[in-house]
Structure 1
Amino acid sequence: MNSTITSISALEILDSRGNPTVRTYVTLDDGTKASASVPSGASTGQHEALELRDGEKRYAHKGVEKAVSHVNVEIAETLIGMNAVEQKNIDYTMIELDGTETKSKLGANAILGVSMAVAKAAAITSNLPLYRYLGGSNTTRIPVPCMNILNGGEHADNSVDFQEFMLVPNGAPNFKEGLRYVAETFHILKKILKGKGLATSVGDEGGFAPNCSSNEAAMELIITAINEAGYEPGKDLSIAIDSAANSFSQNLDNKYDLLSSGAGKMTTEELIDLSGKWLKKYPIVSWEDPLSEGDWDGFSEFTKNFGSQIEVVGDDIFVTNKKYIRKGIENKTANSALIKLNQIGTITETIEAIKMCREAGWRYFLSHRSGETEDTFLSDFAVAMDGGHLKAGSACRGERVAKYNRLLEIEHELGNRAEYRWK
């Protein structure tokens, strides 16, 4: 096996929203070739690693030719000749080459594409599936799919403030059946929406985006769909929420304006009180970004009140960054961190963030982005990281379904060794 890198190149492709992103190719000395495509977020935290855009007229200022050039020139010149199996060394070499805290010189989209493609190539030349190469020989746990079924906020143009309502098949016996539970309920919800004269168009991540009379009305529609699909809420299927509270907190502090639904202005205390009422009424097992990224005290109060009942997940507040996760652990801000590869920009840093969560007794929740590609790297990575759950979008849109289908393949490959459990 000769895993020396002999070639690195990139090109500009389109993501699921029709915006440019980076695809990177890596070739090794033994002829192994691999490619990786970088996702892009719409609802982003202000401290995320920088997704480098050209800022010029083409593609409405969203082109990524500069990031592509950085891969083809600076990064390629630096990494060619290095050993692909030395992932940490390669990733930190790129971090040093960039030299900025947010990867703003080369672009996190340039760096991550190379990081992912190198890992894929190393797995191929090692004759291992990617999940086993990254996770080790005992990797057997398939994540519970938290499937987006209804969209609002930044992911839809409708009257729902909260960004994602997800179905969680935590009562299913395995991934295959869990996927069936949520897919069947997704289709039942479509019939219910159609019967009520509500839109059945979908948002960026494939969830339906109807104009509901309130945020609570969206929850009631989901409960109805679970029942009509023949499942028991809280037993077979539970609910996960991503409020993405940044989107209705103008100053990212402790003031919230739920304009889309007409619920009006709320303080942190009022929003926490509303959340408590929902937790008593609905089978919610996970709540992501219930408050904005600047509302650290509010987040801690939310966790103090509800952290023993549910998984309180920080996304925009932590941005897969050890600096902010460490602060969250010290302040008891949450009990789980959302993990997105492109928020931090390398595989190595992502794994380090996950390790920090594990050591603190926190959970971690692997996630896609709203601007995705058909690349299934995330599926293998979620299995390798043994986190127990994953959100990859809904039961429609090819870039989402591809990730679920890859997990079906992995579960089939593992056979009776495959594990499936929420905790």
Structure 2
Amino acid sequence: MGEEGGGRSCGTTRELQKLKQQAMEYYRENDVPRRLEELLNSTFYLQPADVYGHLANCFSKLAKPPTICKVVGKNVLDGLGLPTLQVEIFCTIQNFPKNICSVVISTHFEVHENASPELAEAEELERLDAVSTAVQWVNETITEELQGLVPSNQAEVDQVLRTFFENKVQEDKERKELEKNLKDSTVLSPQSPPPPPPPPPPSKKKGQKQGRMETAAEKPIIPAEPPEAVLCGSMAIGAVSLAVAKTSAMLDNNPLYLNIALLKHHQEQPEKLTIPLLMVSLVSCGKSSPGKLNLMKEVICIPHPGLTAKQGVEMLLEIQKHINKAIEMSPPPKPEMKKSHDGGKRGQSKGKYEVMMGTYKSAAEMVDLYVDLINKFPSIIALIDPFRKEDSEQWDSIYNALGSRCYIIAGTASQSISKLLEEGNVSILKYSGLIIRHTNQTTMSDLVEITSLIHGKKHIAVFGSTEGESSDDSLVDLAVGLGVRFIKLGGLSRGERVTKYNRLITIEEELGQNGTLGFNEEHTFFYWNKEAEKAGELPEVPEPIFPTEVAEELAKL
């Protein structure tokens, strides 16, 4: 027993000596004695608490950088009370785990007006499944794969997330193929006899002329493309990428928009940052709106670029008051005989667009209608989704007719960010700009890449929010950091929207105080219109109008 105790004592002594030797080497390599001497000399007249604080700061610089230790996904509610995903990031800081931040991502699901109970129930189940799957991905595989990574290395994090998603896509493809093979093998049907030959066409009498309908047959309508497939759970990728970016910003004591700007400019801090112009929805023209017109889904107002964001919001609130008064004084709309479930989007009947109740126009006639509209109201500086994305010829026609007089912007008519990046082409249709959104598997690296592609093509980028929003205001920081031209946040109502407008005003004030607020010369579209006016392409541009006059102009529409 004594020998055993002696053996333990010797072993303990050797271990202590080894640790002491390692400590001496560490001190010598990091020149700790000199650091302590300098620190003590510089803090001789400080209080002991101050000395301890300086010592803590000194040793914290020698500690390992914070690393991700856990990622947590939760099912929370968005601004409409519908389920969506929240992601929290925990980091190991000086050997202790700490909750750094959380983000909430918006879902890609649209909010349909007057939807049938069956459709509403099916979409509710699909949404719940998407969120539940995303929570499972985050809490199982993603948190394991991100453990030990440094949050500041956004490219590495996004690559891990991208690889994980690609594996999920492959798994889903293999599962569907297996289900199809099982279905084909279990459903055995006897060979059916060949169908009877079609009856011969009726013989045409001698001298009979071909009918008018055959000679003047209308051009076949291009069928609508199927919606792009969204993998269930994909919102986990975008949410985690955003959460890591926000974590990195907080650990560096930076605002998120600055870290996004550094990411876009290859870690070189830009001298100036610009505030995107507001696109504010003033009138909604959905199926349940009073005085609706199928031609328009919403009327958006853009403040003059010479105004600050705060001044623009104040002016738009005043305009909104006058619009509400004008709508209250207008006669009630006539009752509808038929219900529609297309959520306020322009429908087509026999290949024609319904511009008003019972009034249909062909795609070619729509080009003339838009030209007349711009001639009558030259203050209209942008058209969003004037056509279906399938009507590519009309996109060419309207761009050629109005491209020098207003922006032609693709929103729902555009492909998703992942599809655009996969093809490496943002100019599939002829337009001035694109509306981009942070949804599904879109990472921070994807946003940087897509905005670089858009700017490289001399197009404008509009950063938009989805219909199912949350109070998370991170997308405002993304818009500022990415340097987009416009930001589309919806109307000046509801807490989750107002929070984002307030965040934009706060960022503008911060940039103004530290001298980094820039002015984007490309915002001067009013001067651009004046150049077109001199060239004889435009009628005279009217002087700036007051809120009451804006309301009157909108009432005429």
- TM-score, normalised by the number of residues in structure 2: 0.60
Q: Distance in 1 between matches of 2:440 and 2:496?
A: 19
Structure 2: which 5+ runs fail to align? 1-63, 112-119, 171-227, 263-268, 336-341, 525-557
SS of corresponding position for 1:392: strand
Q: Distance in 2 between matches of 1:95 and 1:71?
A: 14
Aligned to 1:207: none
Number of residue pairs aligned between Structure 1 and Structure 2: 368
Matched, 1:182 2:316: yes
Q: Distance in 1 between matches of 2:243 and 2:82?
A: 21
Q: Distance in 2 between matches of 1:328 and 1:269?
A: 26
Aligned to 2:417: 321
SS of corresponding position for 2:71: strand
Q: Distance in 2 between matches of 1:58 and 1:315?
A: 22
Q: Distance in 2 between matches of 1:3 and 1:141?
A: 31
State the AA in 1 paired with 2:509.
H
Q: Contact 2:286–2:344 (CA<8 Å) still a contact in 1?
A: no
Q: Contact 1:143–1:420 (CA<8 Å) still a contact in 2?
A: no
Note the alpha carbon deviations across 1:279-310, whole angstroms, 9 max, x for none.
11121111111111222222222212211111
Question: Counterparts in 2 of 1:256-295, with a 5 A limit?
Answer: 256-258=352-354, 261-282=356-377, 283-295=379-391
Shift of 1:319: 3.4
Evaluate the alpha carbon distance shift between residue 339 and residue 3 of structure 1 in structure 2; reply closer, same or farther with a 3 A threshold.
Answer: farther
Shift of 1:384: 0.7
Query: Which of 426, 431, 438 is residue 341 of structure 1 equivalent to?
Result: 438
State the AA in 2 paired with 1:74.
T
Shift of 1:17: 2.3
Q: Distance in 2 between matches of 1:379 and 1:394?
A: 15
Note the alpha carbon deviations across 1:293-345, whole angstroms, 9 max, x for none.
22222222221221111111112232342654868655561121111111652
SS of corresponding position for 1:5: strand
SS of corresponding position for 1:62: helix
Shift of 1:112: 1.1
Shift of 1:107: 2.5
Q: Contact 2:235–2:441 (CA<8 Å) still a contact in 1?
A: no
**Which segment drifts farther, 297-306 or 316-325?**
316-325
Aligned to 1:170: 304
Aligned to 1:73: 140
Q: Contact 2:88–2:99 (CA<8 Å) still a contact in 1?
A: no
Aligned to 2:244: 118
Aligned to 2:517: 418
Q: Distance in 2 between matches of 1:95 and 1:394?
A: 34
Matched, 1:9 2:72: yes
Q: Contact 2:276–2:487 (CA<8 Å) still a contact in 1?
A: yes
Which structure has more helix as a fraction of its residues? Answer: 2
SS of corresponding position for 1:257: strand
Q: Contact 1:245–1:289 (CA<8 Å) still a contact in 2?
A: no
Q: Distance in 2 between matches of 1:247 and 1:78?
A: 42
Query: Which of 389, 393, 399 is residue 303 of structure 1 equivalent to?
Result: 399
Q: Distance in 1 between matches of 2:469 and 2:459?
A: 27
State the AA in 2 paired with 1:152.
C
Shift of 1:171: 4.6
Q: Distance in 1 between matches of 2:110 and 2:375?
A: 28
Evaluate the alpha carbon distance shift between residue 314 and residue 383 of structure 1 in structure 2; reply closer, same or farther with a 3 A threshold.
Answer: same
Aligned to 2:103: 36
Structure 1: which 5+ runs fail to align? 45-54, 199-210, 214-243
Q: Contact 1:322–1:356 (CA<8 Å) still a contact in 2?
A: no
Q: Distance in 2 between matches of 1:297 and 1:113?
A: 37
State the AA in 1 paired with 2:501.
Y
Q: Distance in 2 between matches of 1:384 and 1:117?
A: 15
Note the alpha carbon deviations across 1:162-201, whole angstroms, 9 max, x for none.
2221110025422121111111111221122222256xxx
State the AA in 2 paired with 1:76.
T
Compute the RMSD of aligned alpha carbons. Answer: 3.1
Matched, 1:378 2:475: yes
Which of structures 1 and 2 has the bigger CA Rg?
2
Shift of 1:270: 1.3
**Which segment drifts farther, 263-272 or 121-130?**
263-272
**Which segment drifts farther, 176-185 or 96-105?**
96-105
State the AA in 2 paired with 1:356.
L
Aligned to 1:98: 165
Shift of 1:56: 8.9
SS of corresponding position for 1:88: helix
Aligned to 2:276: 143
Query: Quick one: percent identity of the two aligned structures?
Result: 22
Q: Contact 1:84–1:118 (CA<8 Å) still a contact in 2?
A: yes
Q: Contact 1:32–1:121 (CA<8 Å) still a contact in 2?
A: no
Aligned to 1:366: 463
- TM-score, normalised by the number of residues in structure 1: 0.78
Aligned to 1:26: 89
**Which segment drifts farther, 2-11 or 322-331?**
322-331
Q: Distance in 1 between matches of 2:148 and 2:242?
A: 17
Shift of 1:246: 9.8
